[in-house]
Amino acid sequence: MVSSLTKYYGEFKALDSVSFTVDKGWVYGYLGPNGAGKTTTIRTMLGLLKPDQGEVQIASVNPSKDPVNALQIVGYAPELPILQAFFTGEQLLDLMGKMFGLSMQERVPKIKKLLELVGLQDWGDKKIGKYSKGMIQRLSVALALIGDPMVLIMDEPTIGMDPEATAHFRNLFANLSKEGKTVFISSHLLDEVQRICTHVGMINKGRIVFSGPISQVLEAFTEKWIVEAELEKVTEEVVSALKSLDCVEDVKVDGNKLMIPLKEKKDSRGEISTEIFNHKGVLLSLNLHKATLEDAYLRAMKGGI
C-alpha cells in the first residue's frame, strides 16, 4: 500500500501525494511517460529513497523502518540493472541467496533452476562483465526471484530483451501471479501490460491519474469501439441504412472503406453486415477495433475524459 507519498528532488516535486493499493495475487502495471515518477515510486517503495511525506507498507510493514522484514518477501529487478561485473552469474545469485538467509543446500539447486528459467544455464559460470544487456536483464529477474518472494517489483523488466525472451518473461510473470504472487510491473510496453496485468496505475507528472482494474481503465479512458468495413463499392443507400441503425453513431466514408463508430462498447458486426447485405452491398472485410490500453493511456495522459 502506498499512501500519500510525496518526494522532492530539491525544488522539484517528483511525487505528489501518490496513493494506491496492490492486493495479493494482482499483476499491477504501473504506467507513465518518462520522468513521470515511476522509478521514484518504486525506489521509495523499497526504502532506497526517503519520502518527504506519506508512507509505504508491504504486507503491513514499512520498508524504511523495518527493511529486514519488509524486503524479505520482495524481489526487485531494477530498470537497466548494473550488476557486479566481477562476479559470475552463479556467484551473484549465491550472494543474494545468502542475503535472503538461504542455506547452501537450498541455494545450489535454486540457482541452477533459476538460471534455466531465465535461459542463462550456459552462462552461470561466466563473469557478468561478459554478459549482453539482455542477459543482464534476465539475470536481474533471476536475482529478484532468488528469495522466493511473495511480491515482485519489476522496473521495465523486458527492456533490452528480444521478442522471444519478452514473450517468455510475459508468460513467466503471468504464471507467478497464478501461484499467488503479487507482481508490480513498471513498463512502457502497453500491449504487454494489457495482456498480463489485472490492474493498472497511471502516473503523470508525479500524480496518480488512475489506479484500478484494467477493465475499468479501458471503460473510463477510451471513447468508442469502431467497426471498419471494406466494400466492393460504397453506395449512398448503404451509408444511409447503416446510419439508421441504433448501435451506430456515425458512418465515415474513406474510398471503399467505412469507419463506423459504435454507440456502445458492444460487438455489433452482425447487425452491420446484415444491413450491408440487405442493401446489396458486397462486403470484402469487416473488423472490430476495440479500445486498447494505448488509447486509454494516451487519453489519460492528456487529462482524461
Partner 1 sequence: MNALQRIAVILWYEWRRALAKKWVIVLIVLAILFEALPFLILSQNMAGILTDVRETMWVAGVLSSQSLFIQIMAIQIAGSSMSEEYEQGTADILLSKPITRVEYLVGKFLGGFLLLSLVEAVTTITGLVLSFVVFGAQRNIQFVPLIFVTVVYATLVFYSLTFMFSEVFRRSNLAMFAGFGVFLVSYFVGSYMFFLQGQFYKDISQLLPTWSAMSLPMSLVIDLNLLPSGWAAFAGGGLGFTAPGDVRLAATIIVVYTVIFVALTYLRFVRSDVTKKAA
When asked if residue 203 is in the footprint of partner 1 (CB under 8 A), the reply is: no
Q: Rounded distance, CA 216 to CA 232, Å?
A: 38
Applying CB under 8 A, which of residues 1, 87, 220, 289 lies at the interface with partner 1?
87
Bridge partners (DSSP) listed for residue 207 = 204
Q: How far is CA 54 from CA 21, 99, 238, in A?
A: 13, 28, 59
When asked if residue 128 is in the footprint of partner 1 (CB under 8 A), the reply is: no
Report the residue number, 157 or 281, with the smaller CB distance to partner 1: 157
Bridge-based pairing state of the strands 257-261 and 226-231: antiparallel
- Grid coordinates given for 212: 484500478
When asked if residue 96 is in the footprint of partner 1 (CB under 8 A), the reply is: yes
DSSP string, 172-213: HHHHHHHTT-EEEEE-S-HHHHHHH-SEEEEEETTEEEEEEE
x/- mask, partner 1, residues 146-185, rule CB under 8 A, reads -x--------------------------------------
Interacting residues of 284 by C-beta distance below 8 A, sequence separation 6+: 230, 231, 232, 256
Q: Rounded distance, CA 136 to CA 120, Å?
A: 10
When asked if residue 83 is in the footprint of partner 1 (CB under 8 A), the reply is: yes
x/- mask, partner 1, residues 1-40, rule CB under 8 A, reads ----------------------------------------
When asked if residue 89 is in the footprint of partner 1 (CB under 8 A), the reply is: no
Please, what is the minimum distance in Å from the beta carbon of residue 79 to partner 1? 9
Please, what is the minimum distance in Å from the beta carbon of residue 101 to partner 1? 3
Q: Rounded distance, CA 179 to CA 159, Å?
A: 24
Applying CB under 8 A, which of residues 19, 24, 53, 98 lies at the interface with partner 1?
98
Please, what is the minimum distance in Å from the beta carbon of residue 14 to partner 1? 11
When asked if residue 48 is in the footprint of partner 1 (CB under 8 A), the reply is: yes
Size of site (CB under 8 A) for partner 1: 30
SS3 state of residue 98: helix
Q: Which residues bind partner 1 (CB under 8 A)?
A: 43, 46-50, 67-72, 74, 76, 78, 81-84, 86-87, 91, 95-96, 98-101, 143, 147
